[in-house]
Amino acid sequence: MIDFDYAGRQVRGVWRMVFGGGEWRDDIDPSIDGVFRSFWAFAFSTPFALLAFGAGYRIAASSPEFTKTIYAKAPLAVLFPTEIIALAAYWGASIAALVLAARSIGATRQAGGLIVAYNWGQLLTFIISAIPAAILVITGDLDIFVLFALPVVAASFFINWRILRQSLPINIGVTIFLMALLTVVELSVNSAVTYAIVSLYLLFS
């Protein structure tokens, strides 16, 4: 089990890595134990991810095209577990892609620190992303949601950008490539897993 004080230090380290305000290496634990413990970030991220998914579902459901999407073919009781499975799948695929990238540029020694920073960085990203989602759930105002969502999306990209730049000896071009790779991995794996699970639900329902 991981304690919240330890998790808080890791998130603080990522915050310092991204936004400054202190020496992030004093907080980030790049040891083997730290790498394994960093996967607790997935468990901590789950409720925030589900909140964001719920907000996105609410927006999609208000569209006249919603009935044509795969999300209209299954109840939320199926979609919420599906979202968790898809999150785990593309999270793991993203880690694998980053490790392969680190090895390909001869930065294997930095891979542990990269994994730790990425995992806890994802938690930070989901926490920030939950802010506009919570606003939508509370107010139901789509305009206010968009007002907060746009800077949150920008902040999420900036967090991953800074993690890559600080964790690996790479230039801007390689960083852009890795950012694009992570985006493709997330979208493709998330879509594939969601489609597969919902298809199985429809097959056996």
Please count the other Cβ atoms lying within 10 Å of the Cβ belonging to residue 154.
10
Using left for φ > 0, alpha for ψ between -120 and 50, and beta otherwise, residue 77 falls in: alpha
Cβ distance 175 to 155 under 8 Å? Answer: no
Give the tens place of pLDDT for each residue, 65-101.
888 888 888 899 999 999 999 999 999 999 999 999 9
Cβ distance 156 to 178 under 8 Å? Answer: no
Give the tens place of pLDDT for each residue, 151-164.
999 999 999 999 99
Find the helix packing angle between 142-167 and 172-204, rounded to 10°: 130
- What span, in angstroms and rounded, lies between the C-alpha atoms of 66 and 45? 27
Residue 58 has pLDDT above 70, yes or no: yes
- What span, in angstroms and rounded, lies between the C-alpha atoms of 145 and 140? 8
Residue 146 has pLDDT above 90, yes or no: no
pLDDT attached to residue 70: 82
Tokens 């699970």 -> residue: 197
- What span, in angstroms and rounded, lies between the C-alpha atoms of 134 and 149? 11
Please count the other Cβ atoms lying within 10 Å of the Cβ belonging to residue 92.
14
pLDDT attached to residue 72: 87
